[in-house]
């Protein structure tokens, strides 16, 4: 904010002293801005350091099958990754541990050690990891909580979006895809059934053509290109088409 003569007049500053006082006020304000920036940098540094400490402890837990217990430990005690590894090695796995040992601590029970920014960071991380949206996405929740400074609401929204995408685009195994889509092709596994290779190949193409006709809405009673129904292909017409194109 600029310092003008009106401000100096309100202070009752004599005219001859105004330039000097103006420079002093400007310098004071610049010092305030610099100190505020320094304090903010220190706050951010404390928060980042706490995120990194918690991330290291959780990684030690992941390596030992105890990520949730590791997160709880990091939020309750000022331990590093090495000390946490020793402690976690004496605990049961997350699968075998009691539910209370895997739950994230409430804000009122989080450790009060460290600076105010570090404590605020622990509270933020605890709320993200303890949210119901993180129950089945703990790895993703840990990534959001310990590698970003996202607010709790934003991190939870990201986790919920992951849930929607997973529901909309389910990953199915080959058996499920086979049940849903079926397959076509010659059965070459029964070579001893008396059919020749040519017969099995024709069977493969017949199945393929039937699949194409079905996808186009054509049926066995549909007319050919001159009719009003869908395009109906058969093995003989497909062979003629291939031969005519080869002749060109």
Residue 27 pLDDT:
85
Q: Which whole number is the average pLDDT over 151-155?
A: 94
CA distance 129 to 67: 11
Residue 23 pLDDT:
80
Per-residue H/E/C for 88-126: HCCCCCCCCCCHHHHCCCCHHHCCCCCCHHHHHHHHHHH
Q: Which residue has the higher pLDDT, 109 or 232?
A: 109
Chain-centroid distance of CA 51 in Å reads 18
Within 10 Å of residue 155's Cβ, how many Cβ atoms? 25
Is this prediction's pTM over 0.85? no
pLDDT at 183 over 60: no
pLDDT (tens digit per residue) in 126-136: 999 999 999 99
């Amino acid at each position: 904010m600029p310092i003008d003569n009106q401000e100096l007049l309100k202070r009752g500053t004599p005219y001859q002293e105004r330039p000097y006082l103006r420079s002093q006020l400007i310098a004071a304000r610049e010092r305030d801005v610099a100190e505020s920036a320094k304090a903010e940098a220190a706050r951010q540094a404390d928060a980042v350091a706490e995120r990194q400490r918690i991330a290291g402890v959780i990684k030690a837990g992941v390596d030992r099958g105890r990520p949730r217990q590791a997160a709880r430990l990091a939020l309750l005690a000022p331990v590093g990754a090495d000390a946490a590894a020793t402690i976690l090695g004496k605990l049961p796995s997350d699968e075998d541990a009691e539910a209370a040992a895997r739950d994230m601590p409430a804000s009122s029970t989080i450790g009060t050690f460290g600076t105010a920014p570090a404590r605020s960071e622990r509270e933020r991380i605890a709320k993200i990891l303890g949210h119901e949206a993180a129950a089945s996405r703990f790895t993703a929740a840990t990534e959001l909580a310990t590698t970003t400074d996202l607010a709790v609401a934003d991190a939870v929204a990201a986790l919920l979006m992951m849930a929607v995408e997973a529901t909309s685009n389910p990953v199915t195994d080959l058996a499920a895809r086979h049940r849903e889509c079926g397959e076509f092709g010659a059965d070459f596994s029964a070579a001893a059934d008396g059919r020749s290779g040519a017969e099995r190949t024709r069977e493969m193409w017949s199945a393929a053509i039937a699949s194409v006709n079905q996808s186009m809405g054509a049926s066995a009673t549909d007319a050919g290109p001159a009719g009003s129904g869908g395009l109906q292909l058969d093995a003989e017409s497909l062979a003629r088409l291939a031969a005519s194109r080869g002749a060109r």
